[in-house]
Each structure stands twice: as structure tokens, then as C-alpha cells.
Amino acid sequence: MDIRVGHGFDVHALADGLRLVLCGVEIEHTKGCVAHSDGDVAIHAICDSLLGALALGDIGKLFPDTDPQYKGIDSRKLLKHVVDTVNAKGYSISNIDCTIAMQRPKLRPHIDTMRERLAEVVGIDVDRISVKATTTERLGFEGREEGVSATAVTLLIKA
């Protein structure tokens, strides 16, 4: 059996008055991610974990932020493209585990909606998708509310 593990990491700066979108869910907040896309830092980390598992580079390589076609794009479209690529190579996604580090707002009320949104795009059962949220105890750029970071780990199995 061919099993692959992949890891992803992403960071976006926060700025006042922008939309905050995490795992395809728009969250009410005073700040949002600065980005060429919709700034969905969690989906970007998940995309990189999937690409990493197959050594296919990263989303910056696939979807350059200099390309106008990706301006403001819904990151779920990027994820769908990455999932299609993984499936086309004969792999299925066993599970995804993502952690978002952000001081405010509290993400817990949104976690199950995030998991459901991701399951729709990835095409696996929601119980195979984990989204976790943590503060950094006011330490670092996340703690100072200057930015958001996300990590993701993915397991792929060749069918």
C-alpha cells in the first residue's frame, strides 16, 4: 500500500475592514486577511499539505498571486483543483487535520460549519476532516492580532 503524508503551513496579515474567510466560512470580525485571493489561510495550508504529500510544489507555484485570474478567488476553487489533481494521480484522501492560530474572534462556534464546507469540496466524510483553533496566548503576530497562521496535515492512500 502506498501511503503519503503531507504538511502545509500558511500565514496572512490581518487588516481592518477586510472579509475574514476561514475554511470557506465568512466570519464576522473587524479584520480580515490581506491577500490576492479571498485570503482563506486554512484552505491554503490544506492545499499545501495535499500538494506536499505528492511532492507537487505549493499553491504559490500552481496559482501565482501575480495572475489576475486568481484576484479575490474563492479558495474553495483552488482546493477543488488540488483535490482533483490528487485524485487524478490515483490517490484518495484518508483524512485532513488543520489547526488555525488566531487570537480573536473565537472560532469554536464555526468549527463544524467549516468541517462541513471542507467535506463538500474535498468529497470525503466530515468525520475525516478535523479543524482546530487555538490562540497563541497573546504571543507572537497571531497573539498581537497582526496575522493568522494555519497548519495542516493530510494522509493520502493510493487506491
Measured distance CA(24)–CA(1) in Å, rounded: 32
Least distance CB 10 / Mg ion (angstroms): 4
Shortest CB 62 distance to Mg ion, Å: 12
Nearer to Mg ion, 7 or 138 (CB): 7
Q: Which three cell numbers stand for residue 148?
A: 493568522
Comparison of 81 and 128: residue with beta carbon closer to Mg ion? 81
Edge-first strand listing for the sheet containing 129-134: 31-33, 3-16, 147-158, 91-101, 129-134
Q: Cα–Cα distance between 38 and 72 in angstroms, integer? A: 5
10 or 142: CB nearest Mg ion:
10
76 scored as a contact of Mg ion (CB under 5 A)? no
Radius of gyration of the chain (CA): 15
CB of 60 to Mg ion, least distance (A): 8
Of residues 44 and 117, the one with the C-beta less far from Mg ion: 44
Cα(70)–Cα(96) distance, integer angstroms: 24
Q: How many residues bind Mg ion (CB under 5 A)?
A: 2
Segment 6-45, which members bind Mg ion (CB under 5 A)?
A: 10, 44
Q: Give min distance, CB of 149 to Mg ion, in A.
A: 10
Listed residue (16, 19, 29, 24) closest to 44, CA to CA: 24
- List interacting residues with Mg ion (CB under 5 A): 10, 44
